[in-house]
Amino acid sequence: MNRPFNFSAGPATIPLEVLNRAGAEIADWHGTGMGVMEMSHRGASFGEILNGTLATVREVLAVPEDFEILFMQGGGLAENAIVPMNLCGVENPKVDVAVTGSWSQKSLTEAKRYADVQLAFDGKAHQFHTVAPTGDWALRPDATYVHVCSNETIHGVEFQTPPDLKALGITAPLVIDCSSHIASRPVEWDKVGLAFAGAQKNLGPAGVTMVFVRKSLLDQAMGICPSAFQYKLVAANTSMYNTPPTYGIYMVGLVFEWLKAQGGIAAIEAQNIAKTNLLYGAIDRSDFYRNEVDPAFRSRMNVPFLLADETLNERFLAEAKAANLLSLKGHKSVGGMRASIYNAMPLSGVEALVSFMQDFERRL
């Protein structure tokens, strides 16, 4: 097999060790004579898989005990509705949203169906190239929650540290869409009220969504919230209020075991920094390529870049593909290129991309 380097933004590359292990176990999990997909979610074997996955996630991400860890469905976009339905069952719910790119824009639009929503920060005024200091945001002291997307997958804008609301005297919980950089760096849980992430960027296959929610936030669901999406019910049933995405949970477990074997979050973060330095360094040293994001907010996971001569885009993509470097086309809303370099992208993949980029530039 000639495995290419896959720079897709998601669903995205999964560690080969994980795929091989899943392959070896596909029809017979641990001598049961049954594949994980075929097992009852109520049986002992799946119970072992679920509990093992929860324990590994809690350990690797150092999730404090006052957070519930949930496996849900519907992806990041469904959480844009599920979060307000779970938190806005209070009088005059108010949601403040910082719009730093396409994903938080969608969160803002969806939250309007459930609450009085305020645009706390508008990155559009800065072409989504930077984020103003949190102290300059329009935050209401009586907000029900504040929403941010900590890594904007399309615009390549990442918070290096989550907003510190407490330091601003704001007691509202911070809700974070961390779909595209979860498990790429340590989480500052003391700043977080709730965090959610679809699995298909950094955790495994599409179809499973992880939610980390403070236990103190479980009692403010709206009456209209569907039971299967109520965090409190899902938590009380260990993510098995209804049939959970069993195979996805198993895969997430394998990915977290792989992370642990890599040396955990500290080791993967060091590797992500090395990959990022290499790629942004190459872009910055060249007049041929450019990335326009404020260096303080550049994403370690999604690196959008433009060619100085945009008429070369198709040729760049075709030659990259021939060199086994796939899915580098930028999102249609921003154009150009985007290299998604999640945890599972090895340093050798970024080295191959950088040498291709330098070679392409030299040949022109």
Q: Minimum CB separation from ligand PLP for residue 179, in Å?
A: 4
Q: Smaller CB distance to ligand PLP: residue 34 or 77?
A: 77
Q: Minimum CB separation from ligand PLP for residue 9, in Å?
A: 7
Q: Minimum CB separation from ligand PLP for residue 279, in Å?
A: 19
CA 34 to chain centre: 31
Q: Smaller CB distance to ligand PLP: residue 153 or 239?
A: 153
Q: Minimum CB separation from ligand PLP for residue 147, in Å?
A: 11
294 given a catalytic annotation: no
- Identify the sign of the CA torsion 324, 353, 269, 215: negative
Q: Minimum CB separation from ligand PLP for residue 149, in Å?
A: 5
Q: Which of 29, 103, 137, 258 is catalytic?
A: 103
Q: Which of 29, 96, 137, 201 is catalytic?
A: 201
Give residues with Cβ within 8 angstroms of 262, minimum separation 6: 268, 271
Give the residue from 242, 247, 257, 343 showing the smallest Cα distance to 54.
Answer: 257
Distances (CA, A) of 171 to 141, 261, 277: 7, 38, 36
Question: 135-166 burial, b if ≥16 CB within 10 A, otherwise e?
Answer: eebebeeebbbbbbbbbbbbbbbbbeebbebe
Q: Smaller CB distance to ligand PLP: residue 19 or 77?
A: 77
Q: Which of 29, 177, 232, 329 is catalytic?
A: 177
Q: Smaller CB distance to ligand PLP: residue 75 or 349?
A: 75
Q: Minimum CB separation from ligand PLP for residue 99, in Å?
A: 13
What torsion, rounded to 10 degrees, do the Cα atoms 344, 346, 349, 354 define? Answer: 110
Give residues with Cβ within 8 angstroms of 301, minimum separation 6: 151, 153, 158, 180, 181, 184, 201, 202, 272, 340, 341, 342
**Under the rule (CB under 6 A), what is the footprint of ligand PLP?**
10, 75-77, 103, 149, 153, 177, 179-180, 198, 201
103 given a catalytic annotation: yes
- Give the C-alpha separation, 180 to 340, whole Å: 9
Evaluate whether 206 touches 198 at the Cβ level (below 8 Å).
yes
Q: Smaller CB distance to ligand PLP: residue 76 or 93?
A: 76
Which residue is it, tokens 């060091």?
270
- Give the C-alpha separation, 211 to 83, whole Å: 10
Q: Which residue is closest to ligand PLP by CB? A: 75
- Give the C-alpha separation, 348 to 337, whole Å: 19
Query: For the chain, how far is it from start to end, CA to CA, in angstroms?
Result: 32
Q: Smaller CB distance to ligand PLP: residue 75 or 336?
A: 75
258 given a catalytic annotation: no
Q: Phi, psi at residue 303, to the nearest 5°?
A: -115, 95
Give residues with Cβ within 8 angstroms of 72, minimum separation 6: 78, 79, 82, 208, 209, 210, 211, 229, 234, 239
Q: Smaller CB distance to ligand PLP: residue 144 or 179?
A: 179
- Give the C-alpha separation, 44 to 314, whole Å: 52
Q: Minimum CB separation from ligand PLP for residue 55, in Å?
A: 25
Catalytic site positions: 103, 177, 201
